[in-house]
Structure 1
């Protein structure tokens, strides 16, 4: 099964392989990738990883915990937990995740989400908000399988987005 690991410069070649499979663009949810990140060079990748790790220690609006989904040295995806007061949390949700195309359909996203929910509980969060496009059926199923309850559907300029809540008892 997969293992959630902290971002690491040691995984640069494996991360680039996953990035290549996704193709160009910023659609790798859960990695915290910005348009300005230079992930191809060793120095740029180190700066990217350092930025992600710094967010974990950052209180307030910039805080977040990033983990990479790794199996047998292969980076399969990423998952991020925006801390309770993070910027855009009401729009993007507390958790974002993504799997490279070849890793989908194996239950990895649900396993990663369950592990990230444990981290959220450890941070004393009493609920986690998740969002996804309503036509992204695999993501809807993942969220519901992990206890997500649909609160409402919001229409955006990119389509209809479901807003789900997972509450901790």
Structure 2
């Protein structure tokens, strides 16, 4: 899709992100509406701090809270908002310095979510292609993404960007268990 770009979260674009949350969308495909409500509360409390929290480019020693409440070290990473003149969704990229491997508590390098009213327009495909350029520039030989077996649209996005199915696995209890598919995109 032409015209899709990634924007760094900022106060300028925050109202569009907030409006999507208020319409029931969430960038968190594991925790859904609970995550959206938490983000709305954080935006209301301190919009600038919320925006700043979406980018951590260096190891910090901070922890994150996993969906089951467990704490784990925060990896470097960022979220970008998918934009085509309007808010389309969010894409996140995380990595472990010095290796393409990820800790067991991280499902994949890249995750994305498109708002329902923009689905089927190529937004995710274009956004993933842009993040893959950044992953390549950071020297990663490959990245992994995961989907549920029934998420055919996401599988098509990954395949359209060169992704190859590596295999099926069971998600860790941190993410509620259940079957998932692991995909790899070669960046060399």
The answer to whether structure 1 residue 68 and structure 2 residue 88 are counterparts is no
Change beyond 3 A, Cα 1:109–1:59: same
The residue matched to 1:22 in structure 2 has which SS? coil
User: What whole-Å deviation, never above 9, does each CA across 1:2-41 have from its counterpart, x for those lacking one?
Assistant: 1101011111211111112234794389xxx687543442
Write the distance in 1 (CA, Å) between the matches of 2:161 and 2:23. Answer: 27
The residue matched to 2:150 in structure 1 has which SS? coil
Q: Which residues of structure 2 form unaligned runs of 5+?
A: 62-73
Aligned partner (choices 150, 158, 162) of residue 165 of structure 2: 150
Write the distance in 1 (CA, Å) between the matches of 2:93 and 2:26. Answer: 24
Q: Which residues of structure 1 form unaligned runs of 5+?
A: none
Write the distance in 2 (CA, Å) between the matches of 1:89 and 1:114. Answer: 25
Change beyond 3 A, Cα 1:147–1:51: same
What residue in structure 1 maps to residue 18 of structure 2? Answer: 16
What residue in structure 2 maps to residue 83 of structure 1? Answer: 95
Aligned partner (choices 116, 135, 140) of residue 120 of structure 1: 135
Change beyond 3 A, Cα 1:35–1:93: farther
User: What whole-Å deviation, never above 9, does each CA across 1:68-104 have from its counterpart, x for those lacking one?
Assistant: 00122x2110101112359756641000000010010
Write the distance in 2 (CA, Å) between the matches of 1:13 and 1:114. Answer: 26
Whose helix proportion is higher, 1 or 2? 1
Retained in 1: the 8 A contact 2:79–2:92?
yes
Give aligned pairs, total.
163
What residue in structure 2 maps to residue 7 of structure 1? Answer: 9
Q: CA RMSD in A?
A: 2.7
Write the distance in 2 (CA, Å) between the matches of 1:159 and 1:28. Answer: 12
Retained in 1: the 8 A contact 2:27–2:89?
no
User: What whole-Å deviation, never above 9, does each CA across 1:35-77 have from its counterpart, x for those lacking one?
Assistant: 7543442x52211111113x024468520022100122x2110
TM-score by length of 1: 0.83
What residue in structure 1 maps to residue 49 of structure 2? Answer: 47
Retained in 2: the 8 A contact 1:22–1:101?
no
What residue in structure 1 maps to residue 66 of structure 2? Answer: none
Retained in 2: the 8 A contact 1:67–1:78?
yes
TM-score by length of 2: 0.75
